[in-house]
Structure 1
């Protein structure tokens, strides 16, 4: 399935740099990392590109840094907007974009110089293309390669439906990450799906954009190797700390995913959405167990006491790995007793790893 190197070079010769790429960077309070991020994008060996920096009302020096790049590099557009969250910032960037293809880069991450050229080599210039690379997880002391679980290759037609679209959600390990980063996407997969976006979602905003985008895709390329993207694990970011709004974001996200799955007739749609909700409920419970406030038990009882959540957990079976996760799933399906304290202790050990 994988494209040969000769075929890749022929495609980039035919389409290649005739395809303008808009790299969109939503920015909010990332002054410590922003220069490394933007420098890595501007160092690309792909020429037909633009960079759109969307400052989402940063309160640190990020806005000034954006302006500095905008003044000294003609490829950079800078937009300052009222704070509206990551999805709104991405849409603002898309509205200003002149490219045929969009790529998103988080402002605390950075990319390899060959990223755009390497990914553009797989373009055919047809609507609905999504090219996926892999990434390096950058922790404070370690760097770990992270690969898609899908086999490298080109997915179209029935193979795209069964091997990718039917397995996007509802599994513990995604066949392809639903991060909006690490992708080069033909723009219509986003612009045709803005009706599914909920700007108030702060956790799961990537899935809110990428699930309908993939359901619109006609051709997905999973690259082999291609560790082009450096994802920085930042302590204190929203996915690594307790957040009071995660449960509400999850509920909003599931409404968006359910609507997209139904209207686009996603393969295994209803069942996949139910399974995804159960996995996200486990994440919600983990988040509550990290709550430093003594009222975390009452909050967990409130979440598990709702009829919809009880029935989903009772009637939907999911595969869960890891001792802490399995214990959490078992306890969530049979709420009550002393389990919150036990699992909370296990999570403290897990978080220190």
Structure 2
């Protein structure tokens, strides 16, 4: 029986300090029938040279050099030239266990529309924390897939399945057929634009037990809490994209998922204002909450977060008065000061 070909797509942008660690974890996979596509998205460091060097020493590696267009445009370019039966996505500052491809492929039944979901480890400050999907490990098909996954993908405080395109194995056609929903202009939460439609079209989803194959590197240098003046507009683009995806698929009661997910995404916009916004942050917070009918949605679905940060945010958002916005800002400032 012919071995399945896995196309591993790695977007590369200014990651020279981590790239070799990432590539070594891929080229040394115990499953060797790989097509490794490195997409240099206009890197301005030594990353392109590292990519070319690895390609010279491994015939499975192909390098694409392109102008900078952002993460989504990079992995889409990789998909467009891929030839694999399955696709796997790995970001260039992350790395994977060397048995990841073999272990994930073992769980594939070879049918169209299946998605294999592994778990991941966050590597931060020299410490590792394991993270798992909220749904129980197992095989989801038929009514179980419809009710447990497709009708419950979004709108929860903790997503039932991670919306990251990484740590998963997709049949190539499931990604290609849904790239029509991808908008490279969306810079925040952009993986939702491909993972959501892929899962909605899936016929079989496998959530692996343990399977801590993927190591997500939390780069403190890129995670500084800075105010993003365009965050609200970016979130609105994402909310609109999610609505377009849901409305085009035959999913029962998608409206509830969309409205609740919108509220949780808007929490990020309000958090951005309270945490980093300067003059006018209260007015901007009020504008967000009024324009998006936050209180109406929160009351309609009786949104009561469990996370303390989200509890604070929903308290502010239900009635974004000067007092509540000011109190929220002080609490975030104290938290950031204590936690560095």
Give the TM-score category using the shorter length: over 0.9
Asked whether the equivalents of residues 12 and 47 of structure 2 are also in contact (C-alpha less than 8 Å), the reply is yes
* SS of aligned partner of 1:167: coil
User: What is the aligned length?
Assistant: 338
Asked whether the equivalents of residues 324 and 343 of structure 1 are also in contact (C-alpha less than 8 Å), the reply is no
Q: Report the Cα distance in structure 1 between the residues aligned to 2:237 and 2:292, rounded to whole angstroms.
A: 17
Q: Report the Cα distance in structure 2 between the residues aligned to 1:106 and 1:117, rounded to whole angstroms.
A: 19
User: 2:268 is matched with which residue: 270, 283, 292?
Assistant: 283
What's the counterpart of residue 301 of structure 1? Answer: 286
Q: Report the Cα distance in structure 1 between the residues aligned to 2:224 and 2:162, rounded to whole angstroms.
A: 15
Asked whether the equivalents of residues 89 and 165 of structure 2 are also in contact (C-alpha less than 8 Å), the reply is yes
* SS of aligned partner of 2:88: strand
For the pair 1:144 / 2:129, whether they are aligned, the reply is: yes
User: 1:180 is matched with which residue: 144, 165, 183?
Assistant: 165
Superposed displacement of residue 345, structure 1? 2.7
Unaligned runs of 5+ in 2: none
What's the counterpart of residue 344 of structure 1? Answer: 329
For the pair 1:40 / 2:28, whether they are aligned, the reply is: no
What's the counterpart of residue 214 of structure 2? Answer: 229
Distance 1:33 1:267, change over 3 A: farther
Q: Which runs of 4+ in 1 moved over 3 A?
A: 236-242, 292-295, 307-317, 348-351
What's the counterpart of residue 152 of structure 2? Answer: 167
Q: Report the Cα distance in structure 1 between the residues aligned to 2:51 and 2:8, rounded to whole angstroms.
A: 14
Alignment of 1:2-41 (within 5 A): 18-41=3-26
Q: Report the Cα distance in structure 2 between the residues aligned to 1:183 and 1:242, rounded to whole angstroms.
A: 32
Alignment of 1:85-124 (within 5 A): 85-124=70-109
Distance 1:200 1:239, change over 3 A: farther
What's the counterpart of residue 176 of structure 2? Answer: 191
What's the counterpart of residue 51 of structure 2? Answer: 66
User: TM-score, normalization: structure 2?
Assistant: 0.94
What's the counterpart of residue 155 of structure 1? Answer: 140
RMSD, matched Cα? 1.9
Asked whether the equivalents of residues 278 and 313 of structure 1 are also in contact (C-alpha less than 8 Å), the reply is yes
What's the counterpart of residue 220 of structure 1? Answer: 205
User: 1:262 is matched with which residue: 243, 247, 267?
Assistant: 247
Q: Report the Cα distance in structure 1 between the residues aligned to 2:61 and 2:132, rounded to whole angstroms.
A: 30
* SS of aligned partner of 1:205: coil
What's the counterpart of residue 233 of structure 2? Answer: 248
Write the deviation string for residues 92-139 of structure 1: whole angstroms up to 9, x where unpaired: 000111101001011111000010000000111111010001111111
What's the counterpart of residue 208 of structure 1? Answer: 193
Write the deviation string for residues 10-51 of structure 1: whole angstroms up to 9, x where unpaired: xxxx6xx71100010111111211111111111101011111
Q: Report the Cα distance in structure 1 between the residues aligned to 2:151 and 2:225, rounded to whole angstroms.
A: 28
User: TM-score, normalization: structure 1?
Assistant: 0.90
